[in-house]
Amino acid sequence: MKHDIELKVNGELYKLRIETKRTLLEVLREQLGLTGTKEMCNKGDCGGCTVILDGRAILACMMLALEADGKEVVTIEGLAGEGYRLHPLQKAFVEFGAIQCGYCTPGFIMAAKALLDKNPDPSEDQIKESISNNICRCTGYVQIVEAIQAAAQEMGGAQ
């Protein structure tokens, strides 16, 4: 069965016809070509497909696109400013060496953004907690935590 939905993604409104069974992840990647959101385990175990839906970090593989009807989604592609100006989190991830193979990176950055949007000055434990659903096999998480701390500081400084 097909459904017509409206989805706001990175500030742009899309009118889409989707099958009932399609997940938000499939629609983002395959229908909208937003492949920055990664497919990793496809069953909610790894955080690789984390996006922000109405201000909350969610797993795009665990939500039917139909459930996102009328909602607002921010993906990794929606973070940078004009001319690929990096968001402080993206900048810090690059500068602190927090990106190795980079496949899990978008999920981590989105989880961290959801945290910083709510809590601009998180403790180290709060940072770790916010990314504890995300699996990284390369970095050992240390430089990821450092990058989020640095970004929090930079974003706080800008306010």
37 lies in the binding site for other proteins (CB under 8 A): yes
The verdict on 17 binding other proteins (CB under 8 A) reads no
Compute the distance between CA of residue 49 and CA of residue 62 in angstroms, rounded to an integer. 9
Least Å distance between CB 31 and other proteins?
12
How far is the C-alpha of 63 from the C-alpha of 6, rounded, in Å? 15
φ and ψ at residue 84, rounded to 5 degrees: 55, 35
String of contacts with other proteins for each residue 118-147, x by CB under 8 A:
---------xxx-xxxxxxxxxxxxxxx--
Residues 82-111 that bind other proteins (CB under 8 A): 84, 86, 90-91, 93-106, 109
Sheet with 50-53, strands from edge to edge, namely 12-19, 2-9, 72-74, 50-53, 56-59
> Is the CB of residue 98 less than 8 Å from the CB of residue 144?
yes
Residue type, 30: E
Among 23, 50, 75, 149, binds other proteins (CB under 8 A): 75
What are the residues binding other proteins (CB under 8 A)?
Answer: 29, 34-43, 45-46, 48, 75-77, 79-80, 84, 86, 90-91, 93-106, 109, 127-129, 131-145
